[in-house]
Amino acid sequence: MRRHIRWFACAAWLPGTTAAAHGLSAADRATLSFGWSFEPWIVALMALSIGGYLIGYARLRRRSRAQRRGAGSRRLHLLAFAGGWSALGLALMSPLDTLSGALFSAHMVQHESMMLIAAPLCVAGRPLAVWMWALPRRARLALGRAVRARPFARAWRCLSAPLVAWALHAVALWAWHAPTLFDAALAHPSVHTLQHASFLLSALLFWWTVTGDGARRGNGGHAMLSLFTTMVHTSALGALITLAPGLWYPSYVEPCAVLGIDPLHDQQLGGLIMWVPGALAYLIGGLLVAARWLSCADRQPAFTQDAARARGEGAR
């Protein structure tokens, strides 16, 4: 009996194209469940990214063994990237992906997993340098020359500026949660792909400026400011969704009704997920950045004294 009810629930809310982009496919309806989704291009990109990272890591490991340095930090980078890669795979291919076509709250869990778990962990893995080492030597040298070229370096410096990265991440969050764009992403596969790409790429750039190599170019103050202000405006967006008196996203009315869930309650839960756990993630990131900044500041006087002593001994 449960199987028939479940089949009816899946079939009833999929009569048109409204949920076609992010709902259950014909294969999902045939299996009578919210199953795993394996889009070929997503699987190919995920396989290419982890394969390239493992090849680059193996080459760097052999190099570090020869030079007897850096092995411990590279192992931590590998674990971080593997964790971020796994979180991204679960967000995009697990039953959470198909369930997010029926529940707004599940959709919020998917987006938060991409931006607050997968993105910072992938950045902590320092994949760009590792991927370069996966290339053949000639291609690696050519890519290195292209990256160091003035036009590319200038464009990257502008794109990865803290204010630019912060603004791109904020615009992606607020724009895609506007009801019109959000419903368009649910209805059209290409728009939905663009939505996820915007969330992930802007989050990667944002976390690179506050925790990755980008943060090392500054003194840490801009990183804490970026994290604090992002916590504030994402909390505001989550609060607006949670406390809204009416529905923002009508595409979820039918599936929620069929599943026996109040769509307004589902929307409130989704907003609460963005409001509380999302804000907590940015707060934890800010505390970690502050701790690193303070530890560097504590070591600075000792380093200065040692340098002055070395200069004095050299003069004598």
Least confident segment among 165-174, 193-202, 204-213: 204-213
Q: Is residue 315 part of a domain?
A: no
| Residue 83: inside a domain | yes
pLDDT at 288: 84
Mean pLDDT of 237-254: 93
pLDDT of residue 68: 58
Whether pLDDT at 81 is above 70? yes
Name the pLDDT band for 160 (thresholds 50, 70, 90): confident
Residue 314 falls inside a structural domain: no
User: Is the predicted pLDDT of residue 46 greater than 70, yes or no?
Assistant: yes
The mean of the pLDDT values for the chain is 81
CB 18 within 8 A of CB 188: no
Alpha-carbon span 263 to 273, nearest angstrom? 15
Q: Which residue has the higher pLDDT, 71 or 314?
A: 71
Q: Is residue 185 part of a domain?
A: yes
Look at residue 127 and tell me if it is in a domain.
Answer: yes
For residue 31, what pLDDT band results from cuts at 50, 70 and 90? Answer: very low
Question: Is position 240 within any domain?
Answer: yes
Determine how many CB atoms are found less than 10 A away from the CB of residue 116: 22
In angstroms, the CA 285 to CA 291 distance is: 10
Note the pLDDT of residue 227. 92
- Total of domains in the chain: 1
Q: Do 114 and 91 contact (CB within 8 A), yes or no?
A: yes
pLDDT of 216: 55
Residue with tokens 């599943």: 259
* Model pLDDT, residue 32: 41
Q: Is residue 245 part of a domain?
A: yes
Q: What is the pTM of this model?
A: 0.80
Residue 236 maps to a domain: yes
| pLDDT band, residue 310 (cuts 50/70/90) | very low
Q: What pLDDT, on the 0 to 100 scale, is given for residue 107?
A: 95
Q: Closest Cα partner for 281 from 241, 221, 230, 239?
A: 230
If one counts every other C-beta atom within 10 angstroms of the C-beta of residue 35, the result is 17
Q: Which domain holds residue 305?
A: 2-309
